[in-house]
Amino acid sequence: MVRARSTYYPDGLPDPGTDWTARWREAIGRPGGQVLCAVGDGALLGVASFRVPEGAPAGTVTLFQLHVEPGHWRAGIGTALMAACRERWQADGLRTAVLEVHVGNRRAQAFYARHGWVPDGHPGPGDHHLDLRLTPTAE
């Protein structure tokens, strides 16, 4: 998933020395953290990571990561992961989902817009992210 993650940033990964395997283990190990995986032909094709962060407004979940291997873009994997996330959030009674997306990542912004995510009116951290919001039960 390192290739998928690196496409998030317009200039590549900001810290190429990051141990992404350790970061994913950390994400999985956080209380309440969930990771959904898309697997095909024995290979990991996509992942989504989300949880309700401590101090988040009631009923709100944060989507931290949604990545698809670049060689499998536009094959429906991201859409399937998004649908699985929404299903899980609805089952858990979560009414709102939020995420941050890099301002230079137009491809991801277009993907999220197609799935109903809208800017939430708040600036993202450090002026290099946009905050997006989704009501999981909305179609």
**Nearest CA to 83 among 36, 133, 34?**
36
Q: What is the pLDDT of residue 26?
A: 79
Q: How confident is the model at residue 5 (pLDDT cuts 50, 70, 90)?
A: low
For 97, phi and psi rounded to 5 degrees? -120, 145
Q: What is the pLDDT of residue 101?
A: 86
Q: What is the pLDDT of residue 125?
A: 57
For residue 11, the SS3 value is coil
Higher pLDDT, 11 or 100: 100
Stated pTM of the model: 0.80
Torsion, CA 28, CA 20, CA 70, CA 11, rounded to 10: 130
Average pLDDT, the chain: 82
Look-up: residue for tokens 């429906």? Answer: 76
Q: What is the pLDDT of residue 18?
A: 74
Q: How confident is the model at residue 139 (pLDDT cuts 50, 70, 90)?
A: very low
Q: Give the tens place of pLDDT for each residue, 66-110.
A: 999 999 999 999 999 999 999 999 999 999 999 988 887 888 999
**Domain spans in the chain, listed from the N-terminal domain onward:** 2-134
Distance CA 115, CA 85 (A): 12
Q: How far from the centroid of its chain's Cα atoms is residue 133's Cα?
A: 12
Q: Residue 66: how many CA atoms within 13 Å on its side-chain side? A: 26
Q: Domain 2-134: what homologous superfamily?
A: Gcn5-related N-acetyltransferase (GNAT) (3.40.630.30)
